């Protein structure tokens, strides 16, 4: 075909192979479309991803977690020793404080791993199973502390507002049953953390131990986290606030001392103990739990909006919410130090027992000397 048509063509024009017109028409648009798709993907990725400057957390988190580890270990170990070896008769509040102390100690023992992780610049050197366990212990401690503080508040509320019914409602057996139910609820509700938490290698060859989860599972984690925040934080927080409001109203009544406590001295001690407990528990909620849940919920919500529509939330606004969330994480760990203070300050029976034992041990040699002197005087010569 080419040899036949060459005689009719000018000598400078090359001979082309004949191709179907449709195939030649499709080649150029296909190449242009591929280049356009690549540019579109790059544009979407750059719009959705935001790079944050998080150098502050490599100093803030290791230092704060180290302080919580030292102080929390000393206070909780002392509280556990007093509860186990110095308390003869366990009251319902003692049962709750024992579980709260065990929960805090389990979390405190996990802090050295996080100190090393953040001090090394988000490079997790351990296994993925240990990463899941550490994240699990953090959230289990957080919500177990909230629920046990709620139980202690309800226990004090019944004793103040319903002193007669508290004899039948509040018992050691019932406190043990409630503690088992709290542990079962926390372990069950926090089980999904073992699935969401995971490790992933980033572009800088650092292995990240996700505090939340990877990007592909974030939407599911957002739903789970919102449900847990409502059930295990918002509901107990409302219960504690209502109980304390009614307790304050009852304590301010002029006839409460004569009706409920059975004596002015006993009423005064009960009132002081209740006021101390109200202050410490409210401080734990307002300082540790409330800022953490508010900033975390806002950060998760803004991150979700950024993924749905990048124009709604800017990278600077998202970074500000991320910084606020990371600053409040050490505050959430601080409850491990406040829980033993609740036991030592609000539990006046513990202080009085320790004082009595110290006085008894100091007076034993004096009593032995007086007895020996009396025996010498009464012995016939």
SS (H, E, C) 70-135: HHHHHHHHHHHHHHHHCCCCCCHHHHHHHHHHHHHHHHHCCHHHHHHHHHCCCCCCCCHHHHHHHH
- Check residues 254 and 97 and name the one with the higher pLDDT: 97
Q: Which domains does the chain have, with CATH numbers?
A: 54-345 (1.20.1070.10)
pLDDT-derived band at 258, boundaries 50, 70, 90: low
Which residues, including other chains, have CB under 8 Å from residue 206's CB and lie 6 or more apart?
121, 122, 123
CA distance 59 to 111: 15
| Distance in Å from the first CA to the final CA of the chain | 152
Q: What is the pLDDT of residues 333-377, one digit of tens each?
A: 999 999 998 888 766 454 445 445 445 444 544 444 444 434 433
Mean pLDDT lowest among 145-154, 256-265, 277-286: 256-265
Q: What local confidence, expressed as pLDDT, does residue 370 receive?
A: 46
pLDDT-derived band at 77, boundaries 50, 70, 90: very high
In contact, 344 and 350? CB cutoff 8 Å: yes
For range 134-162, the mean pLDDT = 92
Q: What local confidence, expressed as pLDDT, does residue 165 receive?
A: 78
59 CB neighbour count, 10 Å cutoff: 11
Nearest to 336 by CA among 63, 65, 151, 62: 65
Q: What is the pLDDT of residues 169-217, one digit of tens each?
A: 888 999 999 999 999 999 999 999 999 999 999 877 889 999 899 889 9
For range 106-117, the mean pLDDT = 94
CA distance 307 to 313: 9
CA distance 1 to 281: 96
Q: What local confidence, expressed as pLDDT, does residue 167 receive?
A: 78
Give kind and range of the element (H or E) at residue 199: strand 199-201
Average pLDDT, the chain: 80
pLDDT-derived band at 257, boundaries 50, 70, 90: low
Which residues, including other chains, have CB under 8 Å from residue 267's CB and lie 6 or more apart?
256, 257, 258, 260, 261
CA distance 84 to 105: 14
Tokens 């130090």 map to which residue? 337
Residue 80 tokens read as: 């556990």
In contact, 179 and 96? CB cutoff 8 Å: yes
Q: DSSP H helical segments within 205-289, as ranges?
A: 218-229, 235-251, 256, 264-283
pLDDT-derived band at 256, boundaries 50, 70, 90: low
pLDDT-derived band at 126, boundaries 50, 70, 90: very high
Please tell me the pTM assigned to this model.
Answer: 0.77
Residue 312 tokens read as: 């709604």
């Amino acid at each position: 075909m080419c040899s036949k048509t060459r005689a009719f063509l000018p000598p400078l024009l090359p001979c082309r192979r004949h191709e179907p017109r449709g195939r030649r028409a499709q080649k150029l648009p296909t190449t242009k479309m591929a280049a356009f798709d690549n540019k579109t993907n790059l544009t979407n990725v750059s719009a959705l991803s935001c790079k944050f400057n998080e150098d502050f957390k490599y100093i803030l988190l290791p230092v704060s977690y180290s302080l919580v580890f030292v102080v929390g270990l000393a206070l909780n170990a002392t509280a556990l020793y007093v509860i186990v070896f110095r308390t003869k008769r366990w009251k319902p509040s003692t049962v709750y404080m024992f579980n709260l102390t065990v929960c805090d100690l389990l979390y405190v023992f996990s802090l050295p791993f996080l100190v090393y992780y953040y001090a090394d610049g988000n490079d997790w050197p351990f296994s993925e199973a240990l990463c899941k366990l550490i994240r699990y212990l953090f959230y289990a401690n957080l919500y177990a502390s909230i629920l046990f503080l709620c139980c202690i508040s309800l226990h004090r509320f019944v004793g103040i507002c319903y002193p007669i019914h508290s004899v039948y409602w509040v018992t050691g057996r019932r406190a043990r049953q409630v503690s088992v139910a709290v542990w079962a609820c926390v372990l069950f509700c926090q089980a999904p953390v073992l699935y969401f938490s995971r490790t992933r290698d980033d572009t800088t060859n650092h292995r990240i131990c996700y505090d939340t989860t990877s990007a592909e599972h974030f939407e599911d984690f957002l739903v789970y986290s919102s449900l847990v925040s409502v059930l295990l934080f918002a509901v107990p927080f409302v219960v504690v606030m209502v109980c304390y409001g009614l307790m304050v109203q009852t304590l301010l009544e002029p006839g409460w001392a004569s009706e409920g406590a059975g004596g002015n001295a006993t009423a005064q001690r009960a009132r002081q103990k209740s006021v101390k407990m109200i202050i410490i528990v409210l401080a734990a909620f307002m300082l540790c739990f409330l800022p953490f849940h508010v900033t975390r919920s806002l950060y998760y919500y803004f991150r979700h909006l950024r993924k749905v529509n990048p124009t709604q939330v800017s990278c600077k606004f998202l970074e500000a919410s991320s910084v606020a969330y990371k600053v409040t994480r050490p505050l959430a760990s601080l409850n491990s130090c406040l829980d033993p203070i609740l036991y030592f300050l609000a539990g006046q029976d513990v202080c009085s027992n320790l004082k009595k034992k110290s006085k008894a041990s100091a007076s034993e040699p004096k009593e032995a000397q007086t007895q020996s002197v009396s025996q010498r005087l009464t012995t016939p010569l």
